[in-house]
Amino acid sequence: MLDAAELPDDIAAPKAMLVTAEVRDRRKDERIAQLEKLVAAFGRRPEKSDADQFELALEDLETAIAAVQAEEDA
């Protein structure tokens, strides 16, 4: 939790912080939706999936997870 002394005195800084947080939350929601689509597409017909499709799906998931983690660290 933030200490009151750490908060900026002007109104512009908290507004910018809120906008930034909102944009980050939207991006996370979009990434979650993408991951859900990937998982749903992969899980639809497992009997027709081959090893190459499995590897591609895993690569897509790993890329999406890395992107989310990079955004969180930024």
Whole-prediction pTM value? 0.50
pLDDT score, position 23: 92
pLDDT score, position 45: 58
pLDDT score, position 32: 86
Give a yes or no: residue 1 inside a domain.
Answer: no
Give a yes or no: residue 71 inside a domain.
Answer: yes
The set of long-range contacts for 30-37, using a CB threshold of 8 Å and a minimum separation of 24, is 31/64, 31/67, 31/68, 31/71, 34/64, 35/61, 35/64, 35/65
Give a yes or no: residue 7 inside a domain.
Answer: no
How far apart (Å, rounded) are the C-alpha atoms in residues 42 and 58? 10
How far apart (Å, rounded) are the C-alpha atoms in residues 50 and 27? 31
**Residue 67 domain boundaries:** 24-42+49-74
Per-residue pLDDT of the chain (74 residues; tens, 9 = 90+): 667 787 778 888 888 888 999 998 998 888 888 888 877 776 655 555 577 777 887 888 888 888 888 877 76
pLDDT score, position 17: 85
